[in-house]
Amino acid sequence: MRTTRLPILLAILILTTATTAQQAPSADVALKAAMHRELVEGNLPAAIAEYKTIIARFPDNRPVAAKALIQLGMCYEKLGRSEARDAYSRLLRDYGDQTQQAKQARSRLTQLAGAAGKSPLDSNGHTFRKIDIAEASYSHQARVSPDSEKLLYIGVQAKEPRFSLRIADLASGKSHTLVEGIGADAATLIFEWSPDGKSVVYKIGRGELRVVGSDGGKTDVLWVNPEKEPYVYPLDWSEQNHAILIGIVDVSKNTVRLAMLPEKGGEPRTILSGDSDELNHTAQFSPDGRFIVGTKRIEKNIDVYVWAVDGGGEIRVTDHSADDTNPFWSPDGKYIVFVSNRAKTVDLWAVPMAGSRPSGDPARIQADIGENKIPSDFTRGGQLVFQVIGSSGRPSDLFVLPVDPKTGEARGSFGPFAKYPMQASFPRWSPDGSRLAYTSRKGNIQLPNAYVSSGGAGDELEIPARSYWMGNVEWSRDGKSLLFSGWNNDDSRPGIFRISLGDLTIEPVHPLGERTGPNWKGAYVNIRWLPLAGRYMVGKVLGETGEELYLMDPADYRMERVGDTFGTSGWGIPSPDGRYLIGMLPAQKSFALVSLPDGASRVLCPYSPEGWPAFAWSPDGTKLVWGEQRLLKMYSVVDGTIRTLVEAGQDQKMSEGLVGTPHTAWSPDGTKIAYLLGNAAPDAKARAELWVVEATGGSPRKIADAPPSHPLMSDVTWHPSGNTILVQARAPKGNEGEYEHWVMENFLPKPASAAGAKAK
């Protein structure tokens, strides 16, 4: 874990990082310079250092990074060093889609292995390649067909129906719609191929399973769960016993069942059931259909288990204090492959199997696959399919701009504040303004961790989430701890929790509530400090369209309910004095100003599916501004009037914000408003601009363009000192979504060599 150093003066940091960014060479220029150092000057140690810097600085420039890895390996070869294999193996693992470099890396590994008397497989000569179907980058689930020729995924579009099942031919890239109008909750399993690839089972709503031919045509209802609350997921399809493995999760009862459903319909037969805090709701059949493999959590660590489908008992496959997750049976039944952090990195492991029992110790077959990759399928052709998050585009980052607190004019250019906080991080300044707290997954597949940073690369404190879901963080008034609204995943009980920044312990600050239900029912969300009220406000979700609001004392954390139930979403934006709330009214498809505590409301603007308007309260709580298409509007609490403060050009629009964006985009003295303008057309070359306008009106002024590396900005925040403006910025995704799907092949150890790779 990284530790915190003494805070550095923010202004010095900003100027230093901005200057460094301006002087830094581009990826291509840096690569040419490093190759000159290697090939012309012959200075191999210096070239190695430069290639390493290029790989670290430009990981998303895939052609340059792959070329740098090839050259790095060649430098090591010339020096006779074994690190050459590591460079080539990393290229195949992380940049297998770069065809020319990957071919060269495999060739070099084969020659190195031959010289050492080893097989290329023993030198990690596996292949790791991206499935190049652009549409699938919006799909959180993808399945390769049993014949490895097609890809089944979720099609996403802006208009209704939003989600569909689509099939793409992997050779030609051509795709077609199989089923229109499915539900596609982002964290659930939706579909599975039949063993012969001729049918697909998929879910509709919470509890209905249907089957459709893979060439289209009529759909048949396979089973409808008579219980309304549980969620039903298709998990696997067995050829041997003609059954579909399903998971049935009842959130309200905190239970999970794994069951077999006849492929021709009928009632499912339960294989095992348990508490969802212990038994994971995903599992897969063994190749012979006699067993299933899954995971259980015992005393906060996760291990791999096997169960007989006839109820014949439980076999523990791994027994380790680390987490062993995502197990899959190899197609020949000789191994169970799983992911583990037992070696302090996220690695791919395999345990040899004799039927349902381990026949040897687990062996690490691929080191450091990365926290942003999880195996999602193991095809009968031997391909392990991975879902990858955050590697296709440059992650969003936080940037700071030095400004004159009196005029609002820029005193430099944007410089990075902290590394890869990612979107929806809800940053909050500490009471003294010296540090920033936020939550982030850092591009990995995990619960969001909390971070505290003063802006320097080595000044960041990482606070692991452990088993807690952190909705967002707020500071205690003494700056010695953080508060967050969320819940403990071990028992699903929601509450308000405190993190001590001294020893990083997490504890609830008042009695925990009952278990969370569907749609976050019962969860506390969106904790905010209200400076004029002198208390925190937090919402409690009652369902899709209702919430309760509470004020919390900063000294003893005693909570007091505000008025009655409000018919808004659970992510409302309260005024600094706690008298008003901005919330979404789903029935009216609009955003409204809600008076607290009586609940009287006034509609401010219509709902947009593109995102929430970037609402911002003035520091004194008397005015409210928001962006609406090309307009920046202002509402006066004093007289109830709405007026247009800024009208942007025809080719521009106001940027939308996130529902948990921090306090305000007003200057601390309330005289100015900072806002963002972007290109109205969705264009990969779009670039956002930061503007400032006087709160009394007048001509707005553009004070800065977005950073060149991250041209799209959101969530503008003014520092309490008035000296800097913070934004979150990202690179455009173009036609790519946030998901990638990769396949790994030729990675399983040979039985004779597996023993040599045993963990010590």
How does residue 338 score in pLDDT terms, banded at 50, 70 and 90? Answer: very high
| N- to C-terminal Cα separation, the chain | 24
pLDDT of amino acid 217: 84
Residue 755 has pLDDT above 80, yes or no: no
Q: Are 385 and 377 a contacting pair, CB within 8 Å?
A: yes
The whole-number average pLDDT for the span 482-504 is 88
Could you identify the residue written with the tokens 């049993």?
146
The Cα angle at residue 440 between residues 434 and 446, in degrees rounded to 5: 150
Closest by alpha carbon to 472, among 433, 429, 425?
A: 425
- Please, which pLDDT band fits residue 10 given cuts at 50, 70 and 90? very low
Neighbours of 153 (CB within 10 A): 26
What's the whole-number mean pLDDT along residues 49-53?
A: 93
Please check the confidence at residue 68 and state whether its pLDDT lies above 70: yes
Hey, what are 288's tokens? 């012979």
The angle subtended at Cα 42 by Cα 41 and Cα 47, nearest 5°, is: 95
* pLDDT value at 469 more than 90: no
The residue written with tokens 């790779």 in the block is 757
Closest CA to 278 of 260, 305, 252, 259: 305
Look at residue 251 in the predicted model and tell me its pLDDT. 76
- β pairing state of 191-193 and 199-204: antiparallel
Q: Measure the CA–CA gap between 275 and 280, rounded to whole angstroms.
A: 9
Rg (CA), the chain: 27
Higher pLDDT, 626 or 491: 626
The span from the CA of 505 to the CA of 179, in Å, is 48
- The better pLDDT of the pair 154, 655 is held by 154
Alpha helices in 574-645 (DSSP H): none
CA proximity to 594, closest of 569, 613, 558, 561: 569
In angstroms, rounded to a whole number, what is the distance separating the alpha carbons of residues 304 and 325? 7
- Over residues 569-607, the pLDDT tens digits come to 657 889 999 999 988 877 778 888 989 988 888 999 887
Distances in whole angstroms, Cα of residue 755 to Cα of each of 39, 351, 352, 746: 41, 10, 10, 18
Q: Higher-confidence residue: 362 or 571?
A: 362
Q: How far apart are CA 725 and CA 656, in angstroms?
A: 17
- Whether residue 161 is preceded by a cis peptide bond, meaning omega within 30 degrees of 0, is yes
Give yes or no for residue 244 having a pLDDT over 90.
Answer: yes
Closest CA to 744 of 390, 444, 377: 377
Contact assessment for residue 304 and residue 336, using Cβ atoms and an 8 Å cutoff? yes
Which pLDDT band holds residue 661 (cuts at 50, 70, 90)?
Answer: low
Residues in Cβ contact with 36 at an 8 Å cutoff, skipping those fewer than 6 apart: none
Question: According to the 3-state scheme, what is the secondary structure of 512-569?
Answer: CCCCCCHHHCCCEEEEEEECCCCEEEEEEECCCCCEEEEEECCCCCCEEEEEEEECCC
The answer to whether 431 and 477 have CB atoms below 8 angstroms apart is yes
Q: Could you tell me the domains of the chain?
A: 27-125 (1.25.40), 128-391+740-757 (2.120.10.30)
3-state secondary structure 358-379: ECCCCEEEECCCCCCEEEEEEC
Count of residues for the chain?
Answer: 760
Tell me the pLDDT band of 675, cut-offs 50, 70 and 90: very high
52 burial (CB, 10 Å; 0-12 / 13-18 / 19+) is middle
Taking a C-beta distance cutoff of 8 angstroms, is the pair 242, 265 a contact? no
DSSP 678: E
Q: What are phi and psi of 382, to 5 degrees?
A: 90, 15
- Selected residue with higher pLDDT from 503 and 731: 503
